[in-house]
A and B are shown apart, each in its own frame.
Chain A
């Protein structure tokens, strides 16, 4: 009996779907054996090629994960015999594989299930290793753990496929050359390394949530990839509050996806969003994840704090019901914990909402000399908004125009120019 009825044609897409499900576990399991992520990924590709040849004829095996693993190991032995692998891997690999040669596919699968979680976690830490550039970490994480093809990654980040392929090849080589061990980092560096993993996942999410380039403001598939990675990580590290904090943050932000863009594809800012379009299922999941982060005790970390802020919005049925005083307090905590000009800018928005535009403007004025925000369109955009609220329309128009000139996203630029034009319509500013 096969898991798939033979009358249902086994297409390329079907095999790719199976591979997407299996490849992270496959690569992780292989990486433990060969102690090299690059070699593990190549072996998994070999197994995929063989599956693409055989499955259309034979049908999908009952246990495709075990089949792929057995096939990949077979390929590993072939390579060993042909001397294609590095000498220093020889002994280790030969030993491990021979020891498992006798195992039935089922036994292999059981063994995989038992410690595959550890292997997946090792793979996550390795793919996000600090020896790699941020771009390389992102590409490798999507490739190895997200199960994306290089073409899919290239499309998501609007870069040519050879660029991504090369990035991945170079990253794998860097890991090999640096002899990065395939392991979960020790206690003394765990927090820092975990922060790198979380940073990579959130970067992927943000690239999908507010694309920094291109015509489209959102690329929802990337948000889904990041959420999936975050949820997987939360299962692997259930006692890490910040992991749940990040998942909570992403779930709640993703809940607004359907309300952030109008029919013309233009962005709608949070206060103007139709909250009936917020996805309550994701909100519930986000609030549950936040509760989990909080229940683990201790002070909230930066992701959990941001999630708590997002939760304040999610809980408000109307924009007017938002608990801005609590949001302002949470931003105060966030500023203490991880001060950054961007956080400060958001704090300004919260203060403006809680205590009036003048309070917000005061914080923003202190940021205008901040060099890192020099080219950041949201600074003049936020300042413009406060000025508009204070009735200083002429200054507001100038700031909206400046923001539009800095915005890299076409749709965002259009929205800012629109607001600038509205300021002109309001006529001259009153004396102040």
Chain B
């Protein structure tokens, strides 16, 4: 099964554009990433620029509203993610526990949904949709 380990650094919500971790933090994190890779469980990973360089699209009243970052209302924002393939949530937790994160960082572990996790009616819809796309394209 797949899990996303979502890195949530406190204070990143208001970080200035172009903020990146320092060399020491990067070095520690690279070593950690390497350990995931060597264990054969790492599928993908990325770090994200701070929200001040991003934007939000909301849908009040069924219409797209765009606001540029940073977002004053946001308390927790993503700093990056790892996608891993392990045998249990417990294993994902153990891998996350080994991350050389700083005191103001939190890792949230979330299982990736697979088609089999949905009830039959939703599966039927999901399976038909790409079929439709293909016919249209």
Contact = CB atoms under 8 A, between A and B. Distances in A.
Contacts of A276: 129-131, 133-134
A17 B85 contact: no
B85 A263 contact: no
A20 B38 CA distance: 14
Contacts, number: 70
Nearest to B43: A281
B130 A281 contact: no
B42 to A, nearest CB: 8
B40 A229 contact: yes
A230 B131 contact: no
B127 A277 contact: yes
B40 A228 contact: yes
B129 to A, nearest CB: 8
B127 A274 contact: yes
Contacts of A228: 39-41, 85
A250 to B, nearest CB: 11
Interface residues of B, number: 29
A14 interface: yes
B58 interface: no
Interface string A257-292: 010000100000000001111000110010000000
A13 B94 CA distance: 11
B96 to A, nearest CB: 10
Nearest to A278: B130
B63 to A, nearest CB: 29
Interface residues of A, number: 30
A228 B37 CA distance: 10
B123 interface: yes
B87 interface: yes
Nearest to B41: A228
A191 B24 CA distance: 41
Contacts of A323: none
Contacts of B6: none
A232 B35 CA distance: 10
A11 to B, nearest CB: 7
Interface string B86-108: 01101101110110000000000
B44 A281 contact: yes
15 contacts: A3-B97, A14-B93, A14-B94, A21-B94, A221-B87, A228-B41, A231-B37, A232-B39, A258-B115, A263-B123, A276-B129, A276-B133, A276-B134, A281-B44, A318-B134
Interface of A: 3-4, 11, 13-14, 16-18, 20-21, 117, 221, 224, 227-232, 235, 258, 263, 274-277, 281-282, 285, 318
Interface of B: 37-41, 43-44, 83, 85, 87-88, 90-91, 93-95, 97-98, 114-115, 120, 123-124, 127, 129-131, 133-134
